[in-house]
Structures are given as C-alpha cells and as structure tokens.
Copies of this chain bind each other. A is one copy, B any other.
Amino acid sequence: MKEKGLLIVLSGPSGVGKGTVRKEIFSQPDTAFEYSISMTTRKPRQGEVDGVDYFFKSREEFETLIEQDKLLEYAEFVGNYYGTPVDYVKQTLNEGKDVFLEIEVQGAKQVREKFPDGLFIFLVPPSLSELKNRIVTRGTETEDIINNRLSAAKEEIEMMKLYDYVVENDQVENACDRINAIVVAEHCRRTRVEPRYLKMLEAE
C-alpha cells in the first residue's frame, strides 16, 4: 500500500513574504516536495512569469473554473481572485508526493475543510510594525491600499488558530529551515506512521 503524500499549506498575512519564502524553498536542490502553482486574475508584477509564479487568468476564465468546481480553493483579495487547481493536487498526493501550496488565508480555510489532515503553516512577521515597513517599502502602492492591507493583516493574525504551525519570517533562510523541519517532523508523527509499524510487527 502506497502512502499518500502530505499536503503542505503555507499561508499568512499579506506582505509577510510568503512568495519569497516559497521561492527560496524551491530553489534548494534537495527540496522533496512538489509546488502547486496558483491561479490568479491579478496582473503579473515585474519579473513574474505565467506558468511559473502563477497561472494568470482573466476574471471570466477564473469564474468559469469556479463554476466547474475545478478549484481546491479560491479567494478574492484586494479585488483579485487567487485559486488552486484541484486535479494536480489530488493526483500528486496519490502518487505519494508531498504537495506545497502557498495561498492566502481565505483559501487556506477552505483547504482545511477539505483536507483536515493537511499540514497548515502560518507565516508571521517578527512584529506588526515590521510588517508595515515591508508593505510601505515595496513602494508601489497608495496609502489607502497600504492601510487596507494592514487592517487585513491584523484580522489574519487573529486567524492563526486555524493553523498547526506558526513560523516567524525573521529571515527567509530561517523561515525555510523551520518549514523544512516541520515537514520532516510531520512525516514522523505517530498518527501518520503507526499503521506502517503495526504491519511490521505482524510480519515478524
């Protein structure tokens, strides 16, 4: 019997650096999990590539996929849709591979309902004031957008209770080390591995 892979969900407040952490993890040569590329209706930022960073879709295309139930989760955030195509995730888990999602908190909540056994990791800034600095110094947004994001971030930190783990993004490398450790640990969780060992005992 082949064991199913682990669904790893990385989420956290807007501006905390989820994308940077995810990119760093997947730049490591020994990363053992598969990245599920999200879909979005937001415009690509400088340097973002369709099919690598996101699948960029029109609002109309996205809403058709919602109707066809082809999304594991989706959320509207600051006026844009973000979502996860479901087929790739299910197929890859069934192959015994771990799948890594980097998604917004609204979407993570939906995934939790569908995959209660998933591994839910909440990325947080060292402090809220540091979060503010990060959003401001991105330097491409109006003050209204910044204030909206800050307010959303406060609400999202209160959503922490839906997660299994909280990882502080003090430095990208540290955050990645913690996430990798969490995945290793989770593969050792007794409730996940017990069936295999009980079988071993019977075979003796």
Residues of A within 8 A of B (CB): 121-122, 124, 127-129, 154, 157-158, 160-161, 163-167, 177-178, 180-182, 184-186, 188-190, 193-194, 197-198, 200-201, 204
| Distance of A201 Cα from B181 Cα, bound (Å) | 26
Question: Which residues from chain B contact A181 at a C-beta distance below 8 Å?
Answer: 180-182, 184-185, 188
- For chain A, what secondary structure do more than half of its interface residues adopt (helix, strand, loop), or is it mixed? helix
- Tell me the nearest residue of chain B to A175, going by C-beta: B188
Since A157-B201, A165-B185, A185-B185 are in contact, a sample of 19 more A-B pairs with Cβ atoms closer than 8 Å, ordered by chain A residue number, is A121-B188, A128-B200, A157-B197, A164-B190, A165-B190, A166-B189, A166-B193, A166-B194, A166-B197, A167-B188, A178-B185, A178-B188, A180-B181, A181-B184, A181-B188, A182-B184, A182-B185, A182-B188, A185-B186
- Tell me the nearest residue of chain B to A158, going by C-beta: B201
| Distance of A189 Cα from B189 Cα, bound (Å) | 13
27 contacts between A and B (CB under 8 A): A121-B188, A124-B197, A128-B204, A129-B204, A157-B197, A157-B200, A157-B201, A160-B190, A160-B194, A160-B197, A163-B190, A164-B189, A165-B185, A165-B189, A166-B188, A166-B190, A166-B194, A166-B197, A177-B184, A180-B181, A181-B184, A181-B188, A182-B185, A182-B188, A184-B185, A185-B185, A185-B186
Nearest CB of B to A171, in Å: 15
Nearest CB of B to A109, in Å: 14
| Distance of A178 Cα from B185 Cα, bound (Å) | 7
| Distance of A184 Cα from B186 Cα, bound (Å) | 11
Q: Is the CB of A127 within 8 A of B184?
A: no
Question: Which residues from chain B contact A194 at a C-beta distance below 8 Å?
Answer: 160-161, 166
Most B C-beta atoms less than 10 A away, residue of A164, A184, A185: A185
